[in-house]
Amino acid sequence: MKKLIAGIASLVMCASALITPAQQAFTSVSVHAAGDYNYAEALQKSMFFYEVQQAGVLPDWNQVSWRDDSMLTDEVPGGWFDAGDHFKFALTNAYTAAIMAWGVIEYKDALKKAGLYETYMNNLQWGLDYVAGCDRGDAVVGTIGDGFDHQWWGSAEVYMRKYKLTSGDDARPFDLITATSTTSQMAAAMAAGYIAFKDENPTLAKSYLEHAESLFELSDKTRSNDDQGVQKSYYPATDYFDDLFYAANWLYRATQDQKYLDKCDEYIPNLATESQSTERKYTWGYCWDDALQGAALLYYENTGKEEWKTQIDHHLQYWIDGYGGKQVAYTPDGLAWLMEWGALRHVTTTAWLAKLASDVAFKDDAAKAEKYNNWAKKQLDYCFGDNDLNLCYVQGMGENNPKTFHHRTASGIHDDHWQSLGLSEEDAQGWQTEYAHTLYGALEGGPSKDGTFTDEVGQYQYTEVAIDYNAGYTALLCAMIDDYDCQPLADFPPTETPKWNEFEVAAVIQQNQASYTQIQLWAMNHTAWPARVVKDLSYNYYFDVSEVLEAGLSVDDIKVTIGYDQHAGDEGALSISQPIQYKDNIYYIKASFNDGSVVMPTGQSEHRSEAQIRIAIPDTAPAGAWDPTNDYSFNGLQEGGQDLLKSPEAVTPYITMYDGDTLIYGTEPDGTKPDDVQPTPTETQPSSEKTDLLYGDVNEDNSVNIMDIILLNKAIYGKAELSDKAQKQADAMHDDKIDASDSLAIMKYIVKLIPELPVV
């Protein structure tokens, strides 16, 4: 579905000086001076993390070999999954995209020099396009997903199969909200996106600016967080004037229109103050629920007013040495620690402000610039291993990462027993313990205030990962590669190969009598490279008929029956063949699923399908006419029940599995094995009719791009009207109606997953 493209730049290692003991264990990074890591590698891997988080039809530039399309029926396509779950929030997508845009706005040349600019801009646009798609004029799509996203553990690619099985619904729920904090963050992201793309893609940038202006108007008019919808249970926004102030500053920076600075002056008296004080708030930290300090730096850049430089200074002093009798706590090994939820998220975002402030606000104050710059670097390096645990909290960097991280798709869980991840085999009681994938670039939550770290997948405050956790960290890395001459890895990402059999069969002898053998089997789907289903699924059981023939019977005397079928009566029901000759006296029976998609890596009961199959000859046959001991598929089978069946000892390569006619598991009697790379089924798209219409061109600009999808979604929702020609061109499915399937088809065309429109 997509091609992996490795970087072609040669790895230029940073010059090495002194290497500390903590760095000696950190072998995958290079060193420029004592304590300096390869920040370009870290940024490269952060982009990988954001590509892991992509929902919808994946673009051809996505580098994650174990990801595939997902959530194709979402109200708004694309976007980033929020964290280790599958929610999509407009708030966190917008917050994240705005900070990422800020990073490239300030340090574009550094990204270009490192060869990461195109990758960075691709990922930034992915988030911005989703934010734009959530804009519905008088409301926004706030949340896509529901409580099921936190109840079920599994891969994004098969999420909707489990969701439909559980709820009966073909699409995830969504809500429309008007919360000012959310719409303001969206306006800020759109304005920042305009600045980032105005020189590269003026048409796209213009669209972002239009969204920014309309979203800001909605925010300023609403001035209420009462309507937060589902978001409130997960990201409860509090005050909103900081968000309005933040958005107005971004709009001014984008347009230079004085009216936005006038709005800033209107909001300033309403900004939060310190408790029991008239002094403007300088505590806490820049995050999705507190944009004040980020807005303060923007406002200083926009106006040059010294009081806002002082505001930034007070905030950074609070984080470093203390100010006004208040100071952030510190761990014994030197981490500035704000709270137990996302400690490293908070410190790296503040480090981003400190680094940017040292380059912008304090560039003429050498002492403060050096102080804030050094502090930012020290806190970032803590994340990479400069701590008492010598633990690198960025997955896939160095050699000593936490062994667990809280992420469903990257775990590759097929049985839903996620609590067993990271446990010993003994403690896991037979459930999956090993992660399928390396979650390169993901910044984990971090340690406790005492510097300890609880390395357990269920301890969310320590092992959670999220798009907003990586946001300030990513922007900070943009600044760091401006200072340090590092380059990304030339051979990244490595190609992952499956760590276990993606398909396999387990079997035990249920009964073995003089005239028949009854086998209990599990056909299993443990796919994770990527997770997927196979519709045309079957398996073969091989046996030798020599004794039957020697006893004067024929192959026609052998009868095969199904004693039990887990999917009897539903769409996956098994059918069983009578004996088919393989070679000479070796025959096989084929058990075929009517729809093998029912065997899916979505839970304890779905990842395998149980059947009991009996192969028999007449009871009146001579003694010895039935002898399974020389049967190929009987090899190694043991007598037992469910406990044995679910053990590794029951897995057998002598019962083979197929996707259609393609062998996908096991070894046939002649030694044939599956290809090293198993094919993933794809659908062949039919050719379209020749026409003078440009299907997909909804906005009639003679091109097909993401802006057509945004306009089409508005039209579907009744927020925009289309001309007759635009309606015809919007009918990408060529079925004389316009709906979400047309949006999906256009998206597939844009990312080159289908060759042409319309789909007929």
Domain-ending residue, one of 451, 483, 515: 483
Residue 730: inside a domain: yes
Whether 629 and 726 map to the same domain: the answer is no
Residue 489: inside a domain: no
Whether 255 and 393 map to the same domain: the answer is yes
In which band, very low, low, confident or very high, does the pLDDT at 34 lie, cut at 50, 70 and 90? very low
Whether 236 and 134 map to the same domain: the answer is yes
Name the β-bridge partners of 609. Answer: 523
Predicted local confidence at residue 398, as pLDDT: 87
Sequence-ordered alpha helix ranges (H) in 521-607: 546-550
Task: Please check the confidence at residue 5 and state whether its pLDDT lies above 50.
Answer: no
pLDDT digits (tens, 9 = 90+) for 329-367: 999 999 999 999 999 999 999 999 999 999 999 999 999
SS3 call for 452? coil
Least confident of 462-471, 560-569, 668-677: 668-677
In which band, very low, low, confident or very high, does the pLDDT at 430 lie, cut at 50, 70 and 90? low
Predicted local confidence at residue 418, as pLDDT: 75
Whether 417 and 551 map to the same domain: the answer is no
* Beta carbons of 73 and 172 less than 8 angstroms apart: yes
Task: Please check the confidence at residue 211 and state whether its pLDDT lies above 60.
Answer: yes
**φ, ψ of residue 110 in degrees (nearest 5):** -65, -40
SS3 call for 742? helix
Sequence-ordered alpha helix ranges (H) in 601-667: 642-645
Domain-ending residue, one of 633, 665, 697: 665
Residue 723: inside a domain: yes
443: tokens are 């910044």
Instruction: Give the containing element (helix H, strand E) for 303.
Output: helix 292-303
665: tokens are 């598991």
User: CATH number, domain at 543?
Assistant: 2.60.40.710
pLDDT digits (tens, 9 = 90+) for 525-549: 999 999 999 999 999 999 999 999 9
Would you name the residues annotated as active-site residues?
A: 85, 406, 455, 464
Whether 210 and 285 map to the same domain: the answer is yes
Whether 88 and 235 map to the same domain: the answer is yes
Whether 183 and 61 map to the same domain: the answer is yes
Task: Please check the confidence at residue 6 and state whether its pLDDT lies above 50.
Answer: no
Task: Please check the confidence at residue 29 and state whether its pLDDT lies above 70.
Answer: no
Q: How far apart are CA 546 and CA 586, in angstroms?
A: 8
Whether 478 and 508 map to the same domain: the answer is no
Whether 478 and 533 map to the same domain: the answer is no
Predicted local confidence at residue 749, as pLDDT: 81
Average pLDDT, the chain: 90
Predicted local confidence at residue 20, as pLDDT: 30
Whether 149 and 40 map to the same domain: the answer is yes
Q: In what order do the strands lie in the sheet with 608-616?
A: 503-512, 516-525, 608-616, 559-565
Torsion of CA 10, 11, 17, 18, to 10 degrees: -170
Instruction: Give the containing element (helix H, strand E) for 591.
Output: strand 586-593
**How many Å is the maximal CA-CA distance in the chain?**
104
Q: How far apart are CA 231 and CA 185, in angstroms?
A: 14
Residue 15: inside a domain: no
Residue 168: which region, alpha, beta or left (left: phi > 0; alpha: psi -120 to 50)? left
CA pseudo-torsion sign 562, 568, 572, 573 = positive
Domain-ending residue, one of 455, 483, 511: 483
In which band, very low, low, confident or very high, does the pLDDT at 748 lie, cut at 50, 70 and 90? confident
User: CATH number, domain at 707?
Assistant: 1.10.1330.10
Count up the domains in the chain and report the number.
3
Predicted local confidence at residue 693, as pLDDT: 85
User: CATH number, domain at 397?
Assistant: 1.50.10.10
Q: Rounded to 5 degrees, what angle do the CA atoms 529, 531, 535 make?
A: 120
Predicted local confidence at residue 717, as pLDDT: 72
Q: How far apart are CA 193 and CA 195, in angstroms?
A: 5
In which band, very low, low, confident or very high, does the pLDDT at 752 lie, cut at 50, 70 and 90? low
Task: Please check the confidence at residue 423 and state whether its pLDDT lies above 80.
Answer: no
Predicted local confidence at residue 74, as pLDDT: 97
Residue 301: inside a domain: yes
Predicted local confidence at residue 760, as pLDDT: 63
Q: How far apart are CA 30 and CA 384, in angstroms?
A: 12
Predicted local confidence at residue 611, as pLDDT: 97
Residue 465: inside a domain: yes
Residue 11: inside a domain: no
Q: How many angstroms separate the first and last alpha carbons of the chain?
A: 20
Residue 38: inside a domain: yes
Question: What's the mean pLDDT in 638-647?
Answer: 92
- From the list 386, 292, 398, the residue with the least C-alpha distance to 344 is 386
Whether 570 and 638 map to the same domain: the answer is yes
Question: What's the mean pLDDT in 278-291?
Answer: 96
Q: What angle, 0 to 180 degrees and rounded to 10, lies between the N-to-C axes of helices 706-716 and 117-133?
A: 10
Strands (E), 373-459: none
pLDDT digits (tens, 9 = 90+) for 70-112: 999 999 999 999 999 999 999 999 999 999 999 999 999 999 9
Q: How far apart are CA 511 and CA 415, in angstroms?
A: 28
Can you give the residue range of the structural domain that contains 46?
21-483
pTM of the model: 0.85
Q: How far apart are CA 46 and CA 466, in angstroms?
A: 11
Whether 451 and 305 map to the same domain: the answer is yes
* Beta carbons of 86 and 71 less than 8 angstroms apart: yes
pLDDT digits (tens, 9 = 90+) for 166-180: 999 999 999 999 999
